[in-house]
Amino acid sequence: MPAPSAASRPRVWVSQPLFDDIVARLGEHFEVGATAQVTVWSPAQVAAKLRGCDGAVVTLNERIGTAEIVQASSLRAIANVGVGYDNLDVEALRARGIVASNTPDVLTETTADMGFALLMAAARRITEGERWLRDGRWTQWSFDTLLGSDVHGSTLGILGMGRIGQAIARRGAHGFGMRVLYHNRSRLPERIERNSRAARVDFDTLLRESDHLVLVLPYSPATRHVIDSTALAKMKPTATLTNIARGGLIDEAALADALASGRLASAALDVFEGEPAVDPRLLALDNVVLTPHVGSASLATRRAMAELAVDNLVAALGHGPRAGDPPTPIAGTIPGKDTAKR
Ligand code: DGY
């Protein structure tokens, strides 16, 4: 089949720099509008970029809803680089017949590693200890310096037992001998519960019994501030709270109060409701570990996410490894696969 002329090739936009060699693969099929530098796009700029495009690869930074697609009459596919897709108005895209995809699976283990690292950092006061040492406050070894809580043998609570939740459960159960409790809308198949040695409990029991609670559930208006002052009041004062999902799951003002008053021992947050802005009260506290939304940020995983997003877009726009073949099935297409499981 002869290669289509440049003028007739579909146009795609890549909203942020990914890996040049991976983005270059789009050039085999499309006219590519790449982005050379990390850019904060306004909604109006996103709308302008999408106008005239057939597809786009976007990140969580770009919110895409009715206003952004209203003038994008040729837009057929959006490939989100990330498993979470709360930046997309899925209903608006679906109504316009625009295929949306995300990047599940490829980041599961890496994000679970980060969740566990944060949990341990909060429990054993690792970043607090480093700051203390660097500040020159370590004058002599002492018996009661920075006493934390044990991870091994404790109770791990997981709110949102999708793929990443299960991977954290396996680490806790098999690596650290933890008792694992989870709360989900529905009970998981017995085989999965056995594999991760996890038992389903109601939300209140999860809050009351967890020594280390990890949030891994998708964000939506229904899950906004699922951890609020009422939920925090039910947790053990010795507990830790880790969030690797989306910042809006936690009422950050209530969390800051709980941490400041000693109502909760410590927290570890990789995500924030107004990120990249972080509540100044959290910044001022010693008993919270703060990282800049890097849960899936290993080089191998970020490459795998970019590859999958590019594959998704190529397939959604009807191209593939063999011209003329039907499109490759799109991994993680929102209208098909269940992408609500993180
Ligand atoms: C995800 O995959 O949802 C991460 O938060 C990065 O986008």
The DSSP secondary structure of 6-74, one letter per residue, reads GGGS-EEEE-S---HHHHHGGGGTSEEE---S-----HHHHHHHHTT-SEEEE-TTS-BSHHHHTT-TT
Which amino acid, 300? A
304 Cα to the center of ligand 1, angstroms:
13
297 Cα to the center of ligand 1, angstroms:
9
Q: Is 309 in the pocket of ligand 1 (CB under 6 A)?
A: no
Say if 342 falls within a structural domain. no
- Residue 295 makes CB contacts below 8 A (sequence gap 6+) with 107, 110, 111, 114, 115, 244, 270, 271
pLDDT recorded at residue 318: 86
pLDDT recorded at residue 320: 64
What is d(CA 306, CA 57) in angstroms, rounded to the nearest whole number? Answer: 9
- What H or E segment, with its residue span, contains residue 241? strand 240-243
Q: Are residues 131 and 263 in the same domain?
A: yes
pLDDT recorded at residue 2: 52
Residue 56 belongs to a domain with what CATH number?
A: 3.40.50.720
**Relative to the CA of 59, which ligand 1 atom is closest?**
7
Q: What is the pTM of this model?
A: 0.93
pLDDT recorded at residue 5: 59
**Relative to the CA of 102, which ligand 1 atom is closest?**
2
Q: Are residues 177 and 44 in the same domain?
A: no
Question: Which candidate in 25, 31, 179, 275 is catalytic?
Answer: 275
Q: Are residues 94 and 147 in the same domain?
A: no
Say if 279 falls within a structural domain. yes
Which amino acid, 138? W
Q: Is 225 a catalytic residue?
A: no
The closest residue, in CA terms, to atom 6 on ligand 1 is: 82
pLDDT recorded at residue 336: 39
Contact criterion met (CB below 8 Å) for 1 and 324:
yes
Q: Are residues 273 and 308 in the same domain?
A: no
Say if 264 falls within a structural domain. yes
pLDDT recorded at residue 341: 41
Q: Is 246 a catalytic residue?
A: yes
51 Cα to the center of ligand 1, angstroms:
25
Q: Is 94 a catalytic residue?
A: no
Q: Is 82 in the pocket of ligand 1 (CB under 6 A)?
A: yes
**Relative to the CA of 271, which ligand 1 atom is closest?**
5
**Relative to the CA of 245, which ligand 1 atom is closest?**
5
246 Cα to the center of ligand 1, angstroms:
9
The end-to-end CA distance of the chain, in Å, is 40
Say if 130 falls within a structural domain. yes
Side-chain-side CA neighbours of 220 within 13 Å: the count stands at 11
Q: Is 83 in the pocket of ligand 1 (CB under 6 A)?
A: yes
Q: Is 84 in the pocket of ligand 1 (CB under 6 A)?
A: yes
Q: Are residues 253 and 123 in the same domain?
A: yes
Low-confidence ranges of the chain (pLDDT < 50): 1, 322-323, 326-328, 335-342
Question: Strand, coil or helix: what is 99?
Answer: strand
User: Any bridge partners for residue 179, and if so which?
Assistant: 155
Q: Are residues 14 and 45 in the same domain?
A: yes
Q: Are residues 86 and 196 in the same domain?
A: no
The closest residue, in CA terms, to atom 7 on ligand 1 is: 82
Q: Are residues 90 and 112 in the same domain?
A: no
Of the residues 80, 86, 106, 107, which should be mutated to test ligand 1's pocket, given the most ligand atoms within 8 Å of the CB?
107
Q: Are residues 158 and 127 in the same domain?
A: yes
* Domains of the chain: total: 2
The domain of 198 spans: 108-290
Question: Which candidate in 124, 246, 302, 342 is catalytic?
Answer: 246
pLDDT recorded at residue 340: 39
**Relative to the CA of 80, which ligand 1 atom is closest?**
7
Tell me the angle at which helices 108-123 and 163-170 cross, rounded to the nearest 10 degrees.
Answer: 50
pLDDT recorded at residue 178: 98
83 Cα to the center of ligand 1, angstroms:
5
In Å, how far are 244, 269, 270, 330 from 216, measured between CA atoms? 6, 12, 11, 24
Q: Are residues 15 and 156 in the same domain?
A: no
333 Cα to the center of ligand 1, angstroms:
16
